[in-house]
Amino acid sequence: MMRSLLFVPGDSERKMEKAAASGADALILDLEDSVAPSRKIEARRLVAAFLSGADRGAGAPKLIVRVNALDTGLTDDDLAAVVAGAPHAILLPKAGSGADIQALSAAIAVEEAEAGLPDGAIRIHALITETAGGMLSAASFAGKSARLSALAWGAEDLAADIGASSNKDERGRYTDVFRLARSLTILAAAHAGVDAIDTVFTNFRDPDGLDAECRAAVRDGFSGKMAIHPDQVDVINAAFTPAPADVERAVRILALFAAAGPDAGVLSLDGKMIDRPHLRQAERVARRAGLEPGALPVQD
């Protein structure tokens, strides 16, 4: 379950330590845009050291590394520095199409073999709306690598790529291209069968604004949201934790279908029709609540 994913500049030992205690479900140790070119080598060293020293137990945050984009010439050296530390996932920025996922997956496989890690152990998350090309290729991210487990969107780099001077209008609402980026990420993730992760809320002194954006994200199908500041973590975790009543209802629906067997199409619960889309929705809620599929009660 990854409700909150907190970005941390990879060249800041102090922030990495603070982030580990933030309560975030995952940390994104950044080698890309939050690190100046002159600090890239130092950041690789610090992130590798953090990976080898951090608590990796059950309650500890998952550790994800954002590498530099494939066209920078830095990606291979980033991977060579961090893969041996067995991060949970590599986050690829400015992903242009499914071919980039295949290329990254092959590069990770080489480093996994060198480090003696099992093939496929490290997952891939991708930012797919940072370039016009990535957005227009949204459907191509499906089915390219079993490593792919989440798609996310970003608004800042896309503005630069298309020449927009702002991504929001006078009322603070994302303009159409950015709303499209958000929508395409939801669709591309569902199409690929992976999680959709909402973009950062940059005004880290506005918890109410963040909360409103989280609630809209939950409503629209995102399973988590990226953060840039530790103060944002609790707000995000709360919003993406399903309410107990919703979890209870999801468990009842799952139990009903489990008891009815694989051929069940339509059932009834509390005098209302329940069919396959309700089952899929219940599975999502249960997953967001952190329930293992095998741990669900079966009614008879």
Distance CA 125, CA 130 (A): 14
Both tokens assigned to 247: 């979890």
Shortest Cβ 191–Mg ion spacing (Å): 24
Least separation, in Å, of the C-beta of 44 and ligand COA? 16
Could you say whether residue 69 binds ligand COA (CB under 6 A)? Answer: no
Residue 28 or residue 253: which is nearer to Mg ion going by CB? 28
From 3, 225, 229, 249, residue interacting with ligand COA (rule: CB under 6 A): 229
178 contacts ligand COA (rule: CB under 6 A): no
Q: How far is the CB of 230 from ligand COA (least distance, A)?
A: 5
Q: Which is nearer to Mg ion, 69 or 235 (CB)?
A: 69
Q: What is the Cα–Cα distance from 279 to 292, expressed in whole angstroms? A: 15
| Residue list 186-225, contact with ligand COA (CB under 6 A) | 200
Handedness of CA 107, 147, 188, 80 (dihedral sign): negative
- Residue 90 binds which entry of ligand COA, Mg ion, none, with Cβ cut-offs from 5 to 8 Å by kind? none
98 binds, among ligand COA, Mg ion, none (CB under 5 to 8 A by kind): none
- Residue among 69 and 247 whose Cβ is closer to ligand COA: 69
**Alpha helices, DSSP H, located in 126-260:** 132-136, 156-162, 176-192, 207-220, 233-240, 244-260
Write the single-letter amino acid at 69: A
134 within 8 A of 95, measured Cβ to Cβ:
yes
CA–CA gap between residue 178 and residue 160 (Å, rounded):
12
Here the tokens at position 192 are 């690929």
Kindly state the smallest distance separating residue 49's Cβ from ligand COA, in Å. Answer: 16
Q: Which of 5, 8, 64, 181 binds ligand COA (CB under 6 A)?
A: 8
Distance CA 243, CA 262 (A): 28
Q: What count of other Cβ atoms lies within 10 Å of the Cβ of residue 244?
A: 9
157 interacts with, out of ligand COA, Mg ion, none, CB within 5 to 8 A per kind: Mg ion
Total residues at interface with ligand COA (CB under 6 A) = 15
Tell me which amino acid residue 154 is. G
Shortest gap between Cβ of 15 and ligand COA (angstroms)? Answer: 4
Q: Which of 18, 45, 168, 276 forms a contact with ligand COA (CB under 6 A)?
A: 18
Q: How many Cβ atoms are within 10 Å of 187's Cβ, its own excluded? A: 14
Binding to ligand COA by residue 13, rule CB under 6 A?
no
CA neighbor of 58 nearest in space, from 297, 290, 293: 290
Query: Among the candidate windows 8-16, 57-65, 169-177, 217-225, which touches ligand COA by CB under 6 A?
Result: 8-16
Residues 21-40 that bind ligand COA (CB under 6 A): 30, 33-34
Contacts of 157 (CB under 8 A, 6+ apart): 33, 93, 94, 130, 131
Residues of this chain that interact with ligand COA (CB under 6 A) are 6-9, 14-15, 18-19, 30, 33-34, 200, 228-230
